[in-house]
Homo-oligomer: A and B are copies of this chain.
């Protein structure tokens, strides 16, 4: 293993400032929960960053098939991370603001299925967008958008 320890040192230098010092065992359960919540919020923000332009096109912004396809492929990749960021049960820490409902942690299989559906629908949308047809692409968006609501309705605080 010595070889890898030496390699690891070189890598840590190479990473230059990407510190991973705040490893779980050095953190209190509350700090771990806060970090988990921060990560999951970040994931959904990045997802939204990519969904935004597509939703904009559906509402009349100029159609750009390339952006629609690209962003949907990214959403498919991001969707695979959802079960991981929703795996850490943070329900013991009501003082940390979150819109995640506590039933999430008893429904990991359903979360995984819904994340898979989002991935599948994002890829299906991207496939249609790749064809460049505006009507077909925006038509396919209903399915993709539905994948978001499908999970929010069940597992997120209703903000409407």
A56 to B12, CA, bound (A): 11
Query: Which are the 9 A-B pairs with shortest beta-carbon distances?
Result: A16-B149, A42-B42, A42-B45, A77-B77, A14-B145, A14-B146, A8-B59, A17-B152, A11-B145
Interface of A is mostly: helix
Give, as a whole number of angstroms, the nearest-CB distance from A142 to chain B: 6
- CB-CB under 8 A from A58, the residues of chain B are 4, 7-8, 11
Among candidates B3, B20, B49, B141, residue contacting A11 with C-beta atoms closer than 8 Å: B141
Among candidates B16, B55, B60, residue contacting A20 with C-beta atoms closer than 8 Å: B55
Chain B residue with minimal CB distance to A70?
B80
Other contacts beyond A14-B148, A20-B48: 18, CB < 8 A: A1-B60, A4-B58, A11-B141, A12-B59, A14-B145, A15-B145, A15-B148, A16-B160, A39-B46, A42-B42, A42-B43, A42-B45, A46-B78, A49-B81, A70-B80, A74-B80, A74-B81, A77-B77
